[in-house]
Structure 1
Amino acid sequence: MARCLSFTAARDRCYDRNFSAAGLRPTTTVLGDGATVHFWVPKSPDPARPPLLLIHGFGANAKWQWAGYVRPFLRSGFDLYIPDLLFFGGSEAPGPDRSDAYQARCLAAAMEALGVRRFGVVGNSYGGFVAYQMAAMFPEAVERVVLISAGVCLEERDLAAGLFVVSDVAEATSILLPQRPNKLRQLVRLSFCNPPRVMPSCCIWDYIQVMCKDHVTEKTELINALIKDRKLSDLPKITQPTLIIWGEQDRIFPLELAHRLERHLQENSQLVVIRNAGHAVNLEKSKELCEHIKAFFLNFSLKSHKNQMCYGTRWKIIVRFADLSIRRLASKLPLLVRKKTWINQVNV
């Protein structure tokens, strides 16, 4: 009965309807080892529209984190593929592997099963760890990468060194997987630069019951596998062009990790630091973030189109992206080519 009256469950159903109305449909891919990966995919895939894979982080499920991006990206000309990571939403696996590399293999296998051979990837927070692994493991499939607040350059010793607000994995897990209202409030305060002032306990309990009670053991193992024995020296350098986006006030993954990642990737990366935003920059500054992501991929797509025009390839309608004229598109691109790193001055 409580579920039927749940505001959280009702909102989740609204997201289902919104995704469907936008032209997406749910599907589940069963992999060879028994893992099942739930996706939102285009109802009518168009080979002329570049595929874009959106990977969520820790939290509810993919719908809650990407709802504000679906229509803008679709209007810009992308075919969207939005999965639930294993043990989130409708995805799970029977085996013991909890590594981000395993998550990457499962998503890559699912994309291949869906007939998508080459695509761009956007990964948010934990999803950025998975996106990075996909780029490293499957360079023939991943064209470009956007990493949002993804501390892939963290090391296990950073916890003891005081880089984070927590000093051990157990404390981090209690916040990232909140089971009581005080922990969810703490997570919100750490994630947002401007957290909501009022958080009624009844709403918090409802959210925890609907969104935070499933697969707690498996999600705890995901966090442990992510941090245990992690060293920067073991992190491969991905070869794809990479856009790094970070909230200036991030307290989950401090800004130092963004600069560390930029140094690790060197000339292959670009860094955007968004002011007045925390770790949940994807929710606090969704419009601004969306524009950066579109400009990053549109630049690449337009160049591909111009290079292949004489061969009459499938990129012939890329110039329709976002209904932007060439002049309007060009006005956005200097942000990405004038210099490698900048702090965005626009407050949205």
Structure 2
Amino acid sequence: MTRCFSFIETKTWCHRYSFSKCGLQSTITDLKDGTIVHCWVPKKPNESKPNLLLIHGIGANALWQWGDVIRGLVAHFNVYVPDLIFFGNSFTTRPERTEWFQAECVIRVMEANSVGKLSLVGISYGGFVGYSVAALYPEMVEKVVICCSGVCVEEKDFRDGLLRVSDLEEATKILVPQKPEKLKELVAYSFFRPPPLRLMLTCLLNDFIERTMILWGEHDQVFPLELGHRLKQHLGDNATLVIIKNAGHAFTAEEPKEFYNHLKSFLVDS
């Protein structure tokens, strides 16, 4: 157990150091309604740079989700990286739990930091929140990147066996693991080539006003690639689907350089 905590603390320290070296600072925003949101924000925002909101997925927090690509992104953007409610240091006493509530909280933090226009990247559950941000605040959002997010999943997909879980409740138990065996199961689903489980530590989309890029792992076992094609069909010419070859749901960790290159190509170079 001590070794487990040592690894986690060391990795977290490394990410915190990297974020700080990239010109970001840890902040707490009190929304005055029982909600506290932790967010990494620029120490000195550059008015000549566009703003970029990075939204992590379930099973991660801001530091762990974005640590591998943050350095490249801050060169081009004022980057804002919140912890979603009940992740990292964000929490609420309010009863709401939906992605719409998460989106509202994130935008209130952006407003508190005087952010007007922004582009966003959402990974997995963060893609659901990112979609909600774009739907609720279209006047703020310029470009959207949705990564392996089953925003087009339907009830029948569970019944028809498209997903490897039988219903939403089972999916939630895996995606928010409370027990070591569920953590192992999450890793097996997330990575196309997962590390051996014995080595695991046990301790309104078509209304987007700008173009959308959809990133998907070729062998995603959480939200199968079919859902990426479905989302592309739904968005039509507004969207580009990019498939990360030989990668699974956690392609951002499996192929961080390729992930960053696609983000830069879409958000900066186009």
Q: 1:231-246, aligned counterparts within 5 Å?
A: 237-246=207-216
CA–CA separation in structure 1 for the residues paired with 2:27 and 2:226:
38
CA–CA separation in structure 2 for the residues paired with 1:36 and 1:102:
13
CA shift in 2, pair 1:276/1:4, >3 Å? closer
CA–CA separation in structure 2 for the residues paired with 1:274 and 1:7:
29
Q: State the SS of the aligned residue for 2:264.
A: helix
**What percentage of residue pairs aligned between the two structures are identical?**
49
Runs of 4+ in 1 over 4 A off after TM superposition: 1-5
RMSD: 1.9
Deviation string 1:195-240 (CA, Å, 9 cap, x unpaired) is 1126436x322xxxxxxxxxxxxxxxxxxxxxxxxxxxx7664332
Deviation of 1:71 (Å): 0.6
Q: 1:298-309, aligned counterparts within 5 Å?
A: 298-300=268-270
Q: Is the 8 A contact 1:58 1:125 kept in 2?
A: yes
Structure 1 counterpart of 2:30: 30
Structure 2 counterpart of 1:266: 236
Matching residue's letter, 1:27: T
Deviation of 1:38 (Å): 0.6
Deviation string 1:280-337 (CA, Å, 9 cap, x unpaired) is 011111111111111111134xxxxxxxxxxxxxxxxxxxxxxxxxxxxxxxxxxxxx
Structure 1 counterpart of 2:178: 179
Deviation of 1:186 (Å): 1.4
Q: Is the 8 A contact 2:159 2:166 kept in 1?
A: yes
Structure 1 or 2, whichever has the larger Rg, is: 1
Q: Is the 8 A contact 1:139 1:240 kept in 2?
A: no
Structure 2 counterpart of 1:92: 91
Deviation of 1:42 (Å): 0.8
Deviation of 1:18 (Å): 1.7
Q: 1:41-190, aligned counterparts within 5 Å?
A: 41-75=41-75, 77-190=76-189
CA shift in 2, pair 1:54/1:5, >3 Å? closer
Q: Is the 8 A contact 1:237 1:264 kept in 2?
A: no
Q: State the SS of the aligned residue for 1:261.
A: helix
Deviation string 1:222-273 (CA, Å, 9 cap, x unpaired) is xxxxxxxxxxxx7664332100000010010011111111111111111101
Structure 2 counterpart of 1:218: none
Q: Is the 8 A contact 2:22 2:71 kept in 1?
A: yes
Deviation of 1:30 (Å): 1.2
CA–CA separation in structure 2 for the residues paired with 1:83 and 1:150:
18
Deviation of 1:137 (Å): 0.9
Q: State the SS of the aligned residue for 1:52.
A: strand
Q: Is the 8 A contact 1:3 1:9 kept in 2?
A: no
Q: Is the 8 A contact 1:248 1:276 kept in 2?
A: yes
Q: Is the 8 A contact 1:251 1:279 kept in 2?
A: yes
Where structure 1 has 5 or more consecutive residues not aligned to the other structure, the ranges are 206-233, 301-348
Matching residue's letter, 2:123: N
Q: TM-score, normalised by structure 1?
A: 0.74
